[in-house]
Amino acid sequence: MLLKPLIALLQFTTVLPLGRMQDFSCFARRSYLYPIAGYVVGGISALAVYFIGEPLVAAAIGIALLFLLTGCNHLDGLLDFGDGLMAHGDRDARIRALTDRQIGTGGMAMGVSVTLISFAALSSSPCLACSLIAGEVGAKFSMAFLSTHGLPFREGIHATIQSRSRPYFPVLAAVLCIPLALLPFRPLALGLAAAAMVLCPLVLLTLSERLFGGVNGDVVGAGNEITRACVMVVLALG
């Protein structure tokens, strides 16, 4: 029965009021369901801005809703990833910068840059509401990919999810992304968006293994934000 895993997924990835907390392991054993959260969060945001005629205002509100609905958890991961990426020193120094509670210049620069790129791409999209959905679903595919293939360098939530993942989970997550083909974008743009959904987590995985020796929840959250931005850019340019 998928109801409990779906509720656990949304409780983990959103701030939506969904009643009594479900057992987290219900979702951890089915992390391929991540794209479903993308449809929910992206769909709510798209519906909220659909009737706003000014693209700049709609894009700003859309991105704000994505942050609010997810509790800014993935944004927090992006800021921490930026600190770790820009830290000087050896691997231990980078891990300290990645995992401490302070936000440094690297994190601020990363957060502002990715958010500005997302805003510009979204406001330039031929279908702003559709880009919100596609970007968020693609972002959640990235999380499913990293949750499966990103070996953890420390104990934590990511380590729990990764230990329960199976190698075929990204394939199942990709199947859940197929409905995006129905969105009114050109086939080339959709194909490039699909490529971005795969390439972004691959690059992040390679970079994180080199810099940190593995992946943690911050890297997965950063993957959400960066992949969403890349998908939106491709759809705007395609």
Asked if the structure places residue 18 within a domain, the reply is no
Question: Where are the strands (E) in the chain, listed by range?
Answer: none
Average pLDDT over residues 196-218: 96
Give the single-character DSSP code of 22: P
Tokens 């395609």 belong to 238
Asked if the structure places residue 2 within a domain, the reply is no
23-75: pLDDT as tens digits:
888 899 999 999 999 999 999 999 999 999 999 999 999 999 999 999 999 99
* Residue range(s) defining the domain that contains residue 61: 30-237
Joined tokens for residue 164? 């329960």
Average pLDDT over residues 100-114: 93
| Cα separation, 230 vs 193, whole angstroms | 8
More confident residue, 22 or 143: 143
State the total domains in the chain. Answer: 1
151-188: pLDDT as tens digits:
999 899 999 999 999 999 999 999 999 999 999 999 99
Is the pLDDT at 134 greater than 80, yes or no? yes
Asked if the structure places residue 148 within a domain, the reply is yes
Q: Exposure string (b/e) for 90-113, b if CB count within 10 Å is 16 or more? A: eeeebbebbbeeeebebbeebbee
